[in-house]
Amino acid sequence: METPLIGHRCGRAYGPDSSRQALRAALAGGPLGGVETDVVLTRDGVLACLHDPYLPLATTLIGWAHERSAAELFAGRLLDREGRASVEHPLLLDEMLDLVPPALTVQVDVKAHADAALARRTVNALAAVLARRPDAGRVEVLSFHAAAVEQAVSHGLAGRLIIWADYAPAALALWAADLGLRGVCVEHFLLGEPLVAALRDAGLSVTTGTINDAALAERALAHAPDAITTDRPHELAAELVERRLLAA
């Protein structure tokens, strides 16, 4: 089975992070395994597709997402890769889900800066959005916050912890399996047999990212990840086909 490529931040190589421009280009560029976006919670409980809860890092706004109303946030503009204001405004999560064809996986990465309670509230808002949508089953809830994935499982949603350390693989696998997570997203530089084996032996799915170079992808593919997240899915796919690591 071929490893699907997931468009990171809706395919951020094609436009501002998690923007309509990036998403439309990612969807139009050829076959795609799915898309990933980060979400933050506004003061009035709306989910916006932004990587950074601290707004100056990604938008023309100041302050924190949870301090702003949805109307204030969506009036701001997204910054491009050079930090310049673009013509793009932040996406509402519901709008993003409407734009993505129903056959594609959607990974939603819950962001809340050093605030587990806010992470839980963000997941509660996400669960409310998904409860009224027929395509909820294709959504995975990702987070670096254990509190967020725990909350996702409590709502019956598919949860996946993101890790940047390979400390105590057996303990991690036991915790994740006992919690009922779907799997773990391992940063690609940590992929190795002890960690991958521990997770797989516990019945967990293993994904990885963010990989934009074919040489790095080749090393990751040796561990047969269930998906690879990339900013440039179509270019990476073409390079992997050239290396005969993906079918044309």
pLDDT digits (tens, 9 = 90+) for 112-129: 999 999 999 999 999 999
Q: How far apart are CA 182 and CA 123, in angstroms?
A: 16
Paired with 7 in beta bridges are: 35, 230
Provide mean pLDDT across the span 129-154: 98
* Summary mean pLDDT of the chain: 98
Among 208, 227, 204, which Cα is nearest to 105's? 227
| pLDDT tens per residue, range 186-231 | 999 999 999 999 999 999 999 999 999 999 999 999 999 999 999 9
- Span 141-154, mean pLDDT? 99
- Check if the beta carbon of residue 62 is closer than 8 Å to that of residue 139: no
- Short-list 187, 163, 184, CA closest to 173: 184
pLDDT in tens, 91-115: 999 999 999 999 999 999 999 999 9
pLDDT on residue 33? 97
Does CATH number 3.40.50.720 belong to domain 5-242?
no
Three-state SS sequence of the chain: CCCCEEEHHHCHHHCCCCCHHHHHHHHHCCCCCEEEEEEEECCCCCEEECCCCEHHHCECCCCEHHHCCHHHHHHCCEECCCCCECCCCCEEHHHHHHHCCCCCEEEEEECCCCCHHHHHHHHHHHHHHHHCCCCHHHEEEEECCHHHHHHHHHCCCEEEEEECCCCCHHHHHHHHHHHCCCEEEEEHHHCCHHHHHHHHHCCCEEEEECCCCHHHHHHHHCCCCCCEEECCHHHHHHHHHHCCCCCC
Give CA torsion, residues 29, 30, 33, 36, to 10 deg: 10
Average pLDDT in the 33-54 region?
99
Average pLDDT over residues 68-73: 98
Report the percent of the chain where pLDDT is more than 90: 98
- Mean pLDDT value of segment 154-159: 99
C-alpha torsion sign, points 42, 48, 52, 56: negative
pLDDT value for 248? 80
pLDDT of 1: 58
Omega before 210 within 30 of 0, i.e. cis = yes
Residue 99 structure tokens: 């734009």
